[in-house]
């Protein structure tokens, strides 16, 4: 039975649209993401819609208020969790925000990284499949499925409307 954990993931663009704000997960030894760079986001709470989730998560993790948020796509990650849990993520691009991002949060240090250099960063192996779709110019959201086994992706399918 498929009962995924629902989550949000945001990639916040710099003013010049050439860089993105990422968290370097380097604070907790028990973190499944330890050592990796990732967008900001997290689990959706009961009674919360996904837009409320991503704006809350960005505010909590970066100290900024989302002003212009675009849903770029969704990804189903069967087996992704530490104990094989299924995840389903809504992937957002934040075009504008208010405030100044914090330098650190409880998960790690925040850094602006050039979009053109993302493939050189330590990230989840599967990110290389969907990240180009987050930043491309196609206005249609993508919808992908990426099963995981033993911490590694073992497939990728994707469609766009």
Q: What is the pLDDT of residues 50-101, one digit of tens each?
A: 999 999 999 999 999 999 999 999 999 999 988 899 999 999 999 999 999 9
Contact 50, 44 (CB under 8 A): yes
Region of residue 49 (phi > 0: left; psi between -120 and 50: alpha; otherwise: beta): beta
d(CA 115, CA 120): 10
pLDDT of 28 over the 80 cut: no
pLDDT of 31 over the 70 cut: no
Q: C-alpha 26: how far from its chain's center?
A: 16
pLDDT of 25 over the 90 cut: no
**What is the pLDDT at residue 111?**
98
Q: Which H or E run includes 133? A: helix 127-135
Lowest mean pLDDT among 17-21, 25-29, 90-94, 151-155: 25-29
**What is the pLDDT at residue 29?**
76
What is the pLDDT averaged over residues 141-156?
95
**What is the pLDDT at residue 30?**
77
Question: What are the residue boundaries of the structural domains of the chain, listed by start?
Answer: 5-160
Q: How far is CA 82 from CA 78, 96, 149, in A?
A: 12, 33, 10
pLDDT digits (tens, 9 = 90+) for 95-130: 999 999 999 999 999 999 999 999 999 999 999 999
| CATH number for the domain whose boundaries are 5-160 | 3.90.79.10
Per-residue tokens: 158: 């994707």
Average pLDDT, the chain: 95
pLDDT of 22 over the 80 cut: yes
């Amino acid at each position: 039975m498929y009962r995924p954990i629902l989550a949000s993931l945001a990639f916040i663009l710099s003013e010049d649209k050439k860089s993105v704000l990422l968290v370097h997960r380097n604070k907790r030894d028990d973190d499944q993401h330890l050592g990796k760079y990732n967008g900001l986001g997290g689990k959706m709470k009961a009674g919360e819609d996904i837009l409320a989730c991503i704006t809350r998560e960005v505010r909590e993790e970066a100290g900024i208020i989302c002003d212009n948020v675009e849903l770029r796509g969704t990804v189903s990650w069967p087996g992704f969790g530490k104990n094989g849990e299924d995840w389903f993520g809504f992937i957002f691009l934040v075009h504008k925000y208010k405030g100044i991002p914090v330098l650190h949060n409880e998960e790690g240090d925040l850094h602006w990284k050039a979009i053109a250099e993302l493939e050189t960063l330590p990230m989840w192996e599967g990110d290389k499949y969907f990240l180009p779709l987050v930043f491309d110019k196609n206005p249609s959201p993508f919808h992908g499925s990426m099963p995981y086994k033993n911490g590694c992706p073992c497939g990728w399918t994707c469609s766009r409307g």
